[in-house]
Every structure is written in C-alpha cells, then in structure tokens.
Amino acid sequence: MALEDAAVLGELFGRSTNPRDPVEKRRLLAIYEQCRKPRTEMVVERGNRQQSLYHLHDGPEQRERDRAMQAMEEGEALAWRDSGLSPQLLGYKVEEDVDRYWNTGYEDVNEQKPDSPVHFQGKL
C-alpha cells in the first residue's frame, strides 16, 4: 500500500503545473484521498477477512474453507488466488485511478484560505 500511495502522490504532483501552491496542494491531496480511500478500505476489509479465515478452529467453517481452497473458488482464503479479488488486488493502475479524478471539481477545497487547516471529510 505504501508504494501505491507514493506512486499516486508522485503522479499527482508530477502532473501539477504549480505543486508548491498551497491551494493546489489541497486540491492534489483531495484527489489523492478520492483515489486511495476506496482501495484502502477494500484491502483492509479483505485483511480482516483473511485474519478470520487463517485462524479458524477445527470444525465446519474450517472444513468449508479448506474445501474452497482446494477447489480454488472465488472468495477463498488465499487472496492472490481468488479469481474475484486478485485482479483488483494485483492489477492496480495508478495512472488510470488518477485520470478518473483529475478533472473533478474541488471548489470546497479551493475556497479555503492557504493557511487554514485541511479537513478531508464529506464530498472532497
């Protein structure tokens, strides 16, 4: 995740014509949040699921998990083999993600004064 974060920040600040401007920095960080938040939530959610799948006690749930792993079904414990998740997990394209939000308006962010604190909540 940290490498992806760095790649997104590099792409954003590299595209900007004036990345040192405080207003522009707020705009870039708002775009960064739009890019990263859904993916980070997905990875954390799957990590929480992984934790429970890896630590099942012997019993029906453990046997079902083992059966799904042997069958290589979608939703299995090994995320990188999960046909429904591995493309999302391993196929992240920074440029496409930044492109999706680059031309989105961020009037609320741009209206803040350069020295005001930035709070990324709501509809950034």
- Pick the residue with more confidence: 15 or 105? 15
Please indicate, yes or no, whether the overall pTM of this predicted structure exceeds 0.85. Answer: no
Helices (H) and strands (E) in the chain, counts: 6, 0
Kindly list the domain boundaries of the chain, sorted by start residue. 2-110
Q: What's the rounded mean pLDDT across residues 102-116?
A: 55
Measured CA to CA, the distance from residue 50 to residue 44 in angstroms comes to 10
Please write the tens of the pLDDT for every residue from 7-60. Answer: 999 999 999 999 999 999 999 999 999 999 999 998 898 888 888 778 888 999
Cα distances (angstroms) measured from residue 77 to each of 12, 73, 81, 88: 34, 9, 8, 16
Distance (Å, whole) CA 92 – CA 40 = 12
> What distance in Å separates the CA atoms of residue 4 and residue 9, rounded to the nearest whole number?
9
Distance of CA 124 to the CA centre of its chain: 16
Asked whether the predicted pLDDT for residue 110 surpasses 50, the reply is no
